[in-house]
Each structure stands twice: as structure tokens, then as C-alpha cells.
Structure 1
């Protein structure tokens, strides 16, 4: 053992310790192994209250031998060795343990992992011949994401060591003396995402691509690929979509937020995958766990700023002190499922016909996003018109619910942590969060429709005509994909783009059996707004009688106002009879007749008095009109509607 005093700080002392680990087992050949580890122990001598104390501040290896071999079997069988390594995160107050179980002893004893700080937010652990492990150590959120990129199988691997003075991420192979630049390329991430890896690894890749790389184009490409290759089932696709929505919303909000309100970002969700999960890389599995170092004992590790000689100097140690103090009183992050529960209650009071249209004020979202590639910019068009034709929009209702939930949560957490000065940033953060939610939902919808080839060409019309031009198989595939998109957004209370609800409803009417379509309507998945209701009413079907009965059933489901508007635009004999009966019933009951919003039409040929039974000088129509004129004024009576409906009814009875 040797030690040396630091030139920068006379209180600092560094010791180099050489330790040998003996591995002995009762094998008949008496095999004996000895591993040597060189450690650097750094500590400070503290003179306080007439006492001399030694505070250990860093314990790190001097070479790449930072792993440990845990022998589970005294016979050292090929499947009885666990390869483990640990990473201490001081700024999070925890230790991340990684274990690779059941490795052959011949392979495990030759592994020498290398560690590289990659892009300030990740620790790159390279395990030769097995995999590359990316640990997310970002100071902006808790450590819970890790990516395992498998390596190509080989008989031997490099023995890497850090090379100082050659730039970041540079290492040297001790076997060949080749200089290697460590990194994870976009190609490696894409191939890992498209492999048969577990869904947790795909979620971590999506989190890394969006929040740390800011590569939205790659994220949309991965979403589009997953829509066509659902190896993990429908649940896996929905989880990746939800991760895309949460990650992109968090990243855009943090990028556009003023520095004064940055501390409030710790109250908002950054991912839905909050725990480390085991990942299988080829034939090896990586088991990751976290344990806490201490509970609020920051003073045992770092001196407080007031205890230092230079009290007002800001450096890495003062920032570490602030991070450790924040761990003592952690903030609760807003959970999307809680917002969804509150939204489900308010949706019972959501009545589009009764509410007036309003606009939700949103603050600007900061600088615009980087320009997209020209190959993708031409495909940004959605297959529907981004416009809601209704008195009020469900999108605004969802945005208002998110604004209210985020604002209340931020105010609650700020008051609990005595940070009243941050209350001024609550409005800025809440409005930017709501706007980023809408942008993320629109971008995800764009990636989904592009995956199934539902992007309209310049000569095609958007909206309902685009669905009518699609063949049945293509329309069904589009519906199933958009259904997963709807479930992913609805389960975490994200708003949908304008015009999506009507487009999705009409697509379901064209692809699903009518009984299934009605079930979707009763469960509030489909919204029968006036635009889609008119389109369904005006559509032509093969079975005319069944079609009329189905359309009448839909009119009974919707509200009274929308039902009357739909009947007025339906050129059918059944609609004409219903409108006339409703008009006559209103007059006979003394209720003011509804507004005449129908266009005069005659579904059957008008034959005048000849349509009535012959031999009657006083027709039933005249008798009925006399009754109506006795109950109502002539200004309220719609003679044309009554006459057309009576003639249509008589001709229908005659034809029968």
C-alpha cells in the first residue's frame, strides 16, 4: 500500500491499495486462482471540534478490473458462475448492481469490463464478447432506464483501458494497442429495437432516443416499424406508444421552459417504466437492481457550503450537496393514471350540445423544433381534416383537465417543499405541458398512419371520401392500428388531434359489423358528432331496409338536437315521416315547433289528390290540416312538410 498527498489540497490524501482475492475450491486437482485488484482510496482529513476525522470521498479502481466473480458452485461447473459489477451514483444516493448469472467459468474469468462516461448522461459498460450496457445516470431524473446492446459472438474480445488526453470516449485495446472510440450508433439502437429483445429494452431505447438524443425522426420510424411487426403483442405496442407520448412531452417541455421554473420538472412524469427490468442479450441475461446508500445523511459524504473555506464558490461538490439534500425530501411526480381517473369522472358531465365552444389559452412552446428531413416532411399530412365540427370539442375538455391536474399538483408540491418562489412558474409549466401533449399526440398519429400506408396523395380528398376509396382489407388494418393508438392515448389522458374522433368513428362504421359498432358507441369509444352522423346517414348500403333501421337506431342514440339535424339532411321516406310526426306532435301538444332547417324535397312523385283514396270529397289530409290549424297559427305550421309526408305514407301503403 502506498499513499500520496494532493498538491491542490493539503487535506486530501490518496492511497493506492493492492488487494488479492483468493479463489480456492475442493477440486481433486486442487485448482487455485488468485485475482489482483488495484484500488484508489481518496479521503480528506477534517479538523472539527478539536477532533481529527477521516472522510472517504472516493473509492475507484486504478485499472479495468472493477468486476467481481461470485462462485455459486464449489465444483465450478460451466453454468455456476455469476458475473457482477456495481456502479455508485452519489448524486442519486444509490448503488446500481448488475449481475449476469450462469456464465461458463472459462468465459467469466477472462472478462474485463470497461467503463466510459458517455454524453454526460450515460455510463457505458462494455463487456467483451457479451454486450454493451448503457446505464442512464442523468441528474434530471431517477435512474430507472438501461439499454443492453448485444455484441456479435466471438471467441475473444478486446481488453480496453481508458486513454487520457485523446478526447472523450477514447480507449485503447491492450491486446492490439488499437485506439477505439466508444459509442452506440443509431444503427446499433435500431437493430436492437427490431430484434426479439424484451419490451423493457425497447422502452429504454425509446426514452434514450427522444429525451437524450432528441432524434424524433428515428423515434417515429421505430414506432412505424413496430406497428407492422408486433412481436410483443398489442400490449407491447401500446406501452411503446405511451412511452413515446410521455418522453416527447417531457423533453419538449424541459427544452422550452425558463430556467427559473426548471426545478418544477421534478414533479412531472418522464417515463412510465419506473423500475429496472431484467434484459436478455443473446444467451446472457442482465439482472439490475438498486439499493440506497443512505437516508438523508448528506453531511456524512460532502461538506455543506457554509462549512467550506470558500463558502460562495460553486463547483461539482456544491451541486452534489444540493442533489443530496433534494433526495432527503423527494417530490412526488404526477401520475398519468390519476389524471385519467379524474378525467373519467368529468366525462360523465361532458355534453357537446350543452356546452359552448371555448378556447384554452396556451403559452408559446418556445423555439420551434428542428426541421424534419425532406423525405419525411412530405408525409406529414394526416388523412383527416384537423377540424372538429361541433359546438364544443372533447380535445379542449381533455386539455383543460390536464391543465387543472398539473397546476394543482405543482402548487401542492411547491407548498409542501416551501418553495413559494417557484409558484410563478406553475402557469408556464402547465400550459407548455398541455401544448406539448397535443404536439406529441399529433406526431404519434402521423407515424401510425404512415406505417399502414394511409397518407393521402395530393389528388386524394381527406376525410370521409378517403375512407370510401379504400378497400375493405386496408381499411380494417388502418382501424386496428388506430384503435391501439386510441387506447394508448386515452389510458394516459392525452388529447387527440382535431378531426380524429369523427374520422375514427366513420372508419369503424365502414369496417365493423353494426352490432360491434353500436357497442363502441355505447362505451364512448366512437363519438357520433354531427359531421360523421350526416355522413353515415347519407351513405348508401346494399341492404336498404336493414340500413334504414340501423340509421334510425343511431339517431335514437344521439341527442335530440343532433337527431333532428341528421333527419333534416337525410333524403329518405322514413326521415320525412319522422320529421312530420315530430312537427305535428309539437303543435298538438302546445310546444313551439322546431326551426325549419330542412330543404324542401319530395322523395316520391307528387300525384296530388290522386294519391288519396278515391271517392272522398274531404280527404284525410284536409281533415288533419284543419285540426292542426285549430291548434296552432299558420306561421308555425309547415304545410309542405305535412303534405309531403302524407303523400309518402299513402304511396307506401299503396305499394305494400
Structure 2
């Protein structure tokens, strides 16, 4: 019923041509050696990719064109390796992130070696894994790993032994690649890996697999549910998960799968349930940097090597468990630098971009610390806070940076107003925002000048704006998780367990951002202080202030003074807070609190202002001797009274237009205190 028409025959179309070429290489009339030809992939244009072992101990990759009936050599390894799969771009150069994978036979020490050649990065990584010989029921020649490309990940799978998800984009450290071992490792393939081959990549995250044994074709993708299971420490099957596995799984979820809108809330939910930092890394810092890296990398691929993606590099001492994987060794080999022949102007399209990427990679590999470190800003930030006076031009420049950032934030979903941020002036955070824009712009201009100043300025402003919006989004998710409402902004009620959980999460976020010297959205410190008053005992709250863990903002103190009544406990708290305020803020806060102590402070400031004005008036003459009532025997007191009387009109009246201050009350209080001091009245 079917009429079959042969389209491709490996022996007829490929092997016969290979034998002729090998005979020519060996300078013999007929080549009789084995070439071990293997089909690797079928391209969309119908071309067949294959590999074979050459006569000189090499492994070669070729392509058969069904239109021209011609074979073309694409790539040659200088040794015999096992190639699992590969693909091409339109210029017919190898691509699974321009990587080539190969493995070597099992050695006498029961060690399996496999190599991932990162063509686009000019280096190769050779991994050696020690296998458990007691579990090996196969011959050494039968143990071949399966290489599966998944976007910029390369999965190396040996059933019953290990699964290695190699992160080719973030390959500086082993801890950003997920390595799982043991009998629990299972990809869900029903047959041995040798019976599977990779046909191609259907989408960026999907790979097409061909089961040679059953003739079935299926698509494969990484499972976010499985990676989330690795993160969760409360799952019985994950009690032995190590920090490197959690870190690698977290980066895969955030960077590789981060565009899934349903995934981020689950990760934030996991952060809420695991607030305390792990022993070797801070998961909140990793969430912030990895998310920003993904967002920025999508806008410009050039940012790959210059933006931070992990807080591990900012640590003074990296934990040993992040530098090593038990049973796995890795060696890196730098390849000969590629050379482009001809003039650069003759290169167009793909080749022009490849040339620039190659030159950029060579430069970034040569210079020390090309990746921006957020901690580098710390010294400048400490200096900025310690200096009382800065040039007006510098401050104006910093403020312009901040305005650019906040203008972008203001365009993003501020109508929700679920969390009250970006609604007040926070001069300290505004200064840090402006400083970060300056330093990041300077870094990109130094390492990526080709992008141009206008493009770099746009990328930097967007990066910092996304940082502020990301933190706000985190808080909104936590707010929804614990179902908090407007009542959390009220000082008169005790905090609930849900509010305590939010306070703990916000406090840990503050610690994480301080460790990286990252700015927070204006209003963050006010909100955290409000939750602190509600959730902490008063003496504990004051200790948090004294140790610099919480920060007093003018908005917070103003609301505290007006919203709380003057009960004994609240009055004591207010006095304690007033003592901790800088003098300018203290003077402004006294105007808001209707209390005798506040009124007395206003009176003292008023007198001080009069005296300071008097000292500035040169040539002031005292002419009170001619006036009646002059008493020379009390000259100091009379002189002071006359000075106050003569300069009173030159100072602003502190009681004018102040609804909360009773001038008559202040006068009576002052008279009563005078009588007490003179002994005419008891306290």
C-alpha cells in the first residue's frame, strides 16, 4: 500500500565518500579501516549531520546536503571522542550556545571524562567523575553519557550514576551548575542513553529526542517543579540537599526560567519560608542579582560579562563547598585565539557580530575584575555619608541621576499602592541611588565603550529602576501572602504573627541589600520602623536603633509623635526617640508634639536664636540706664533682660502659625519653673 522512495542512505551517500577521503589522506588506493559513522542531527533544510573517526586518530563532523548530494567537512577534533549531538546556524558553523560535547571511554580508575568546548568563549571544560564500581553492571565500552542541549544548559546524563546540568553562561564556578548523583537520578527515559539521540532544538527551552529503540520522538524540557523541590528543605526527599545544589537550582529557576510569570511568586514564597541565610550564600541577595541579570541580559547580550549575577563573588572568603563538588574535578583549557582574515569592514551580519564578541571576550578575559561588584561602591558611599558638605554641582548631578531612575519607576503600576513606597522623600536612599547610577555607568563606559554613552546611560538607569521595582514587587508578594491591610500602618495596635513574619522578611532584605550596598525604595525604612514599633518591645526597638539595624526617618517620627497618646509608656518611648534624633530633625519634631517638654525646647531655641542674632550685631550699645526701673545691683540679670527685649523683634516667633503650641501655657510653665528654682514653690 505504501510506495517507499529512498531519500538518504548512510553507506551510499556518506560512508563511500568518507572512505575515498581517508584513502587520500593516507595516500593509499583504498582505505579499509573502520570509520564508525554516526548520524547526529537532521537540520530544518533537510541536511544530515554526522560524525566519523578519521584514520589519523581524529573525530570529524560533516554535513550531507540532499539538494547537491555533496558532503562538507565542518569540524575536526584532534583526538577520538564521542559526539552526541550538534546543530548549525545559517553560516554552517557549529552551535546546543556554540558548544561541542564529547566523552572519553571509562578508564581503569572507574573515572568518566567528558568535555564541553565553549566555542563562543574560547575555552573548554573537561570534567572527570568518579563512578561507583560496585554499581557498574555494564562494560566500560557501554558507559556513554547522553548530551542534551537545553538553551544555554548542557545536560550530561549517565543513567544510575549522575546528571550534570552545565551552565555554559555562568561557568566560572562549579556551584552554578547542578550536579546530582546516585540511583535517584532519573530523567524519565525508559531505555539506556545510548538508544537516544538529539534531533534538534524546537524552541529555546525544548529539545527534540529520538528514541532509536522504540522509534518515538518526544520533546524534553527542564522541570521547574523538580528544581523547586531541590530548594525546599522541608521535603523529606530533599533533606540531604547541599548548598551548591540549591544555589544552582535557584539560578536555573531565576535566570533560565525567569520569564515564567507563575514561577516568581513560588520562589518568593520559598524565600519567606526560608528567611535565614544559608551557610554559604544569601538567597535574597542571589534572588535580587540573578533576577536583575536576566532582565538586563535580555536587553543587551553585551552585558553578560560585566554585570553581577551572584553575590558569591562579593564575599571575602568563598565557602569551600561552593568551589568543589565531591567526586567531580574540572580543568579549564584556553584555546588559541581566533583570527579573522581580511579587513573588518568586509565582515557583515553574523561574522561581524562574532568578531566583535570575540574581541570583547579576549579583552574581558585579560582585564582583572571585568564584572561589576556592588561592594565596590561601599567606600564611596561611606565617604559621601561622612562628609557634611559636598559641592553643589556634584549633589545636583547625583540628584539628576535619581530623578531619571524614579521617573521610570513612577510609570510602573503605582496605581496599586499595595505597599506604601515611593511616597516620601528619603534623602539618604536618593543619594545612594544617584551614586549607584554614577558608578555603574562609569564601569560600563570603561569596558563596553562600543555601546555608546546614550545606550549605556539608558541601560544603567533601567537597571537601577528595575532593582527598586523588584524589591517593591517582593514586598507586594509578601503582603499578599500574609494578607496585610492598612492597619499595619497604625501605631496603636500590637503586631500580629503575620506582621512579625513580614517584619522579619523586610529586615532580612535590608541586611541583604546593605551587604551589597544596594539602594532601597524611598519609604522602605519608614515602613520597616513602623512594623518594628508594632512587633518589637520598646526596649528591643531602641536597641535596634542604637545598633544601626533600624533607621529613624522624619516621616516615621512625625507620625509616632502625633498618633501615639501621652501615656507613660508612650511618653517614655517618645523621649527616647527624641534623644536619638539629629538636632535639625529634633527641632522640627518638637513643633509637632503638644507636650510641656516640647514647648520648653521651643522656648530654649527661641532664646538661643535671639542671643545668636545679638552676637552677630556689631556695635550694639546698651542704653537702658536712662530708663526707669533700672537696678544696677542686678546688672547681669538686667542686662540679659534688656538684650532679649531689644532683639526680640529680629527673630521669628516660634509660636506663630503653630497650632500645637499654646503660648500662654509656655509662659505659665516658665513662671512656675522660676518659682520652683527660687524656692517659693514646691515641685
TM over 0.5: yes
Partner of 1:440: 470
CA distance in 2, matches of 1:367, 1:534: 26
Matched, 1:384 2:420: yes
Matched, 1:103 2:132: yes
**Structure 1's 423 and 574: CA in aligned 2 closer, same or farther, altered over 3 A?**
closer
Number of residue equivalences = 556
CA distance in 1, matches of 2:410, 2:570: 49
Q: 1:293 aligns with which of 334, 340, 344?
A: 334
Q: 1:61 aligns with which of 78, 82, 85?
A: 82
Partner of 2:340: 304
Matched, 1:532 2:574: no
If asked which structure has higher relative contact order (CA below 8 Å, sep 6+), I would say 1
- Is the contact made by 1:95 and 1:292 (CA closer than 8 Å) also made in structure 2? yes
- Is the contact made by 1:276 and 1:289 (CA closer than 8 Å) also made in structure 2? no
Matched, 1:267 2:309: no
Structure 1 position 397, deviation (Å)? 1.0
Partner of 1:406: 440
CA distance in 2, matches of 1:216, 1:365: 25
Partner of 2:645: 630
- Is the contact made by 2:105 and 2:143 (CA closer than 8 Å) also made in structure 1? no
Q: 1:146 aligns with which of 177, 196, 200?
A: 177
Structure 1 position 565, deviation (Å)? 1.9
Q: 2:531 aligns with which of 487, 490, 507?
A: 507
- Is the contact made by 1:242 and 1:488 (CA closer than 8 Å) also made in structure 2? yes
Matched, 1:563 2:605: no
Q: 1:348 aligns with which of 386, 390, 396?
A: 386
CA distance in 2, matches of 1:365, 1:113: 52
**Structure 1's 58 and 548: CA in aligned 2 closer, same or farther, altered over 3 A?**
same
- Secondary structure of the 1:566 match is helix
**Structure 1's 100 and 165: CA in aligned 2 closer, same or farther, altered over 3 A?**
closer
Q: 1:135 aligns with which of 166, 184, 194?
A: 166
- CA deviations 1:593-639 (Å, max 9, x no partner) are 9xxxxxxxxxxxxxxxxxxxxxxxxxxxxx99976863444685678
- CA deviations 1:524-555 (Å, max 9, x no partner) are 443322211122323547961x6434423422
**Structure 1's 315 and 563: CA in aligned 2 closer, same or farther, altered over 3 A?**
closer
**Structure 1's 378 and 499: CA in aligned 2 closer, same or farther, altered over 3 A?**
closer
- Is the contact made by 1:6 and 1:12 (CA closer than 8 Å) also made in structure 2? no
- Is the contact made by 1:279 and 1:285 (CA closer than 8 Å) also made in structure 2? no
CA distance in 2, matches of 1:638, 1:63: 83
Structure 1 position 580, deviation (Å)? 2.4
Partner of 1:209: 253
Matched, 1:487 2:521: no
Structure 1 position 446, deviation (Å)? 2.9
Structure 1 position 7, deviation (Å)? 11
Partner of 1:224: 269
CA distance in 2, matches of 1:207, 1:163: 25
**Structure 1's 103 and 186: CA in aligned 2 closer, same or farther, altered over 3 A?**
same
Q: 1:455 aligns with which of 484, 491, 494?
A: 484
Higher helix share: 2
- CA deviations 1:356-404 (Å, max 9, x no partner) are 89453437999999x9xxxxx999754434312x4x5223211111111
Structure 1 position 511, deviation (Å)? 3.2
Matches within 5 A, 1:23-172: 39=53, 41-42=58-59, 56=77, 60-61=81-82, 66=103, 68-72=105-109, 81-101=110-130, 103-107=132-136, 109=138, 111-119=143-151, 121-138=152-169, 145-148=176-179, 152=184, 158-160=191-193, 161-162=196-197, 164=199, 169-172=207-210
- Secondary structure of the 1:270 match is coil
Partner of 1:618: none
Partner of 1:76: none
Q: What root-mean-square deviation, in Å, do the aligned CA atoms of Structure 1 and Structure 2 show?
A: 5.0
CA distance in 2, matches of 1:16, 1:327: 40
- CA deviations 1:187-228 (Å, max 9, x no partner) are 222222224422333333333333333235413421322321
- Secondary structure of the 1:298 match is coil
- Is the contact made by 1:69 and 1:108 (CA closer than 8 Å) also made in structure 2? no
CA distance in 2, matches of 1:626, 1:63: 98
**Structure 1's 365 and 635: CA in aligned 2 closer, same or farther, altered over 3 A?**
closer
Structure 1 position 409, deviation (Å)? 1.6
Structure 1 position 504, deviation (Å)? 1.0
**Structure 1's 592 and 200: CA in aligned 2 closer, same or farther, altered over 3 A?**
farther
Matched, 1:575 2:598: yes
Structure 1 position 325, deviation (Å)? 4.3
- Secondary structure of the 1:384 match is coil
Calculate the TM-score normalised by the size of structure 1.
0.69
Structure 1 position 304, deviation (Å)? 2.8
- Is the contact made by 1:125 and 1:133 (CA closer than 8 Å) also made in structure 2? yes
Partner of 1:598: none
CA distance in 2, matches of 1:362, 1:12: 65
Partner of 2:461: 431
**Structure 1's 574 and 339: CA in aligned 2 closer, same or farther, altered over 3 A?**
same
Structure 1 position 484, deviation (Å)? 0.7
CA distance in 1, matches of 2:596, 2:312: 57
Partner of 1:551: 574
CA distance in 2, matches of 1:504, 1:328: 46
Structure 1 position 166, deviation (Å)? 9.9
Structure 1 position 114, deviation (Å)? 0.8
- Secondary structure of the 1:215 match is coil
Q: 1:586 aligns with which of 597, 603, 609?
A: 609
- Secondary structure of the 1:345 match is helix
CA distance in 2, matches of 1:406, 1:494: 12
- Is the contact made by 1:221 and 1:447 (CA closer than 8 Å) also made in structure 2? no
- CA deviations 1:256-287 (Å, max 9, x no partner) are 45xxxx5355322233346998689xxx9563
Matched, 1:464 2:489: yes
CA distance in 2, matches of 1:473, 1:379: 28
Matches within 5 A, 1:187-206: 187-194=225-232, 195-196=238-239, 197-206=241-250
